[in-house]
């Protein structure tokens, strides 16, 4: 075991007073799974991970552990103040407070870590890994997760950027036309997001890891936790099969344990593309009536991303349109998701 100080020093570099970079917590070398004839390094992620998949892939082919590599990949998005989906600059809850969730899973050691509703720490993915590496627990939440992060050497900071604060003020001003808040009547559209980044990877020996990090639904009820920090929902991996994770409406994914379900479908022999489609069908089957249109299609959307032990991959969505990020020997790129329904089948509320 290394000290807390060494953990932060080796896993992060200083940026805007934050601990960033790939986690380097040293666990004892773990046995790797037997090499597959077809094993090839591959990283898949939600589309906002296009920069991160290249960083993760390059680290993996250079010999970095798969989990350290993909956490380095998602750190790029977590620390980007202009990206309002995760980490620094993430859109806040209804009280204007940025609350973050993350989880990670390491296939070779069969270990996982997670944090929920953590405030003031821009890289919850690294805190989740610290939970995995330094405790016998899997999830820490709220103020206690924050205290744990600080005890591990992470530096707290206000995560609400001016850009996100202005978006929050616009949203708040329009809640009630008779209140005392002045509307911001400019051209900026009020955005409602379920921003998240999921990333999964396999290396040449077939070792697998997954990570998901998020600021959650914009304007959420304080204390809301989505699927991202829930192992088996927001992400899941099995070193004998593959990994999968999700973005979109977390509540819908929690009801299906979607990350686990995708991996189980691959265990049964389905390829990643068929696995994500089957999981999406389960999402529709478990969707509440109040969230369904008269045509039997959900109002909400959800995406799954999966990679198998041999390096096959896929992204899937309820509705056509979104792509996903992938990087392998052909480089980093955006590819289209497979989907269940066309956009013109998506019902409109009201």
CA dihedral for 89, 216, 125, 234, sign (positive or negative): negative
Decide if pLDDT at 222 tops 50: yes
Give residue-wise pLDDT tens across range 67-120: 999 999 999 999 999 988 899 999 999 999 999 999 999 999 999 999 999 999
Is 112 within a domain? yes
Is 303 within a domain? yes
Is 183 within a domain? yes
Distance CA 195, CA 206 (A): 29
Distance CA 83, CA 100 (A): 14
Residue range 321-327: average pLDDT? 94
Is 32 within a domain? no
Q: Which residues contact 99 (CB under 8 A, 6 or more apart)?
A: 92, 93, 117, 118, 119, 215, 216, 220, 222, 223, 224
CATH number at residue 175: 3.60.20.30
Q: How confident is the model at residue 155 (pLDDT cuts 50, 70, 90)?
A: very high
Number of domains in the chain: 1
- Percent of the chain residues past pLDDT 70, beyond the cut: 83
Q: Which residue has the tokens 């990350």?
A: 259
Is 3 within a domain? no
Enzyme catalytic residues: 196
Taking the CA of residue 63 as centre, how many other CA atoms within 13 Å lie in the half-sphere pointing to its CB? 0
User: Which strand (E) or helix (H) includes residue 302?
Assistant: strand 302-308
Residue pair 196/161 in contact by the 8 Å Cβ criterion:
no
Give residue-wise pLDDT tens across range 163-208: 999 888 888 887 766 665 556 555 445 555 557 999 999 999 999 9
- Listed residue (213, 205, 157, 152) closest to 25, CA to CA: 152
Q: Which domain holds residue 67?
A: 46-343
Q: pTM for the whole thing?
A: 0.86
- How big is the CA angle at 67 (ends 63 and 73), to the nearest 5 degrees? 90
Is 12 within a domain? no
Which residue did the predictor score with more confidence, 34 or 333?
A: 333
């Amino acid at each position: 075991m290394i000290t807390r100080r060494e953990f932060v020093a080796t896993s992060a570099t200083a940026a805007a007073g934050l601990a960033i970079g790939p986690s380097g917590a040293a666990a004892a070398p773990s046995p790797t799974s037997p090499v597959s004839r077809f094993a090839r390094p591959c990283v898949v992620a939600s589309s906002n991970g296009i920069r991160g998949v290249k960083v993760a892939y390059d680290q993996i082919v250079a010999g970095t552990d798969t989990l350290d590599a993909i956490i380095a990949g998602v750190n790029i998005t977590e620390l980007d103040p202009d990206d309002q989906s995760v980490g620094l600059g993430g859109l806040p809850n209804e009280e204007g407070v940025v609350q973050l969730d993350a989880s990670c899973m390491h296939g070779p050691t069969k270990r996982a870590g997670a944090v929920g509703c953590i405030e003031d720490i821009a890289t919850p993915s690294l805190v989740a890994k610290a939970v995995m590496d330094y405790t016998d627990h899997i999830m820490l939440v709220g103020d206690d997760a924050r205290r744990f992060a600080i005890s591990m050497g992470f530096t707290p900071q206000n995560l609400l950027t001016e850009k996100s604060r202005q978006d929050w003020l616009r949203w708040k001003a329009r809640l009630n036309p008779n209140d005392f808040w002045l509307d911001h009547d400019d051209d900026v559209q009020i955005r409602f997001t379920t921003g998240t980044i999921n990333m999964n990877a396999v290396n040449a020996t077939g070792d697998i890891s997954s990570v998901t990090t998020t600021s959650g639904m914009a304007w959420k009820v304080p204390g809301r936790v989505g699927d991202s920090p829930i192992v088996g929902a927001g992400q899941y991996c099995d070193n004998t099969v593959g990994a999968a994770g999700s973005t979109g409406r977390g509540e819908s994914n929690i009801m299906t344990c979607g990350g686990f379900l995708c991996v189980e479908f691959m265990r049964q022999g389905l390829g990643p593309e068929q696995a994500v489609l089957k999981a999406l069908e389960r999402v529709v089957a478990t969707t509440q009536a109040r969230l369904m249109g008269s045509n039997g299609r959900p109002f909400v959307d959800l995406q799954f991303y999966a990679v198998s032990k041999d390096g096959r991959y896929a992204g899937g969505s309820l509705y056509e349109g979104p792509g996903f990020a992938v990087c392998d020997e052909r480089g980093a790129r955006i590819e289209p998701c497979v989907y269940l329904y066309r956009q013109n089948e998506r019902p409109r509320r009201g």
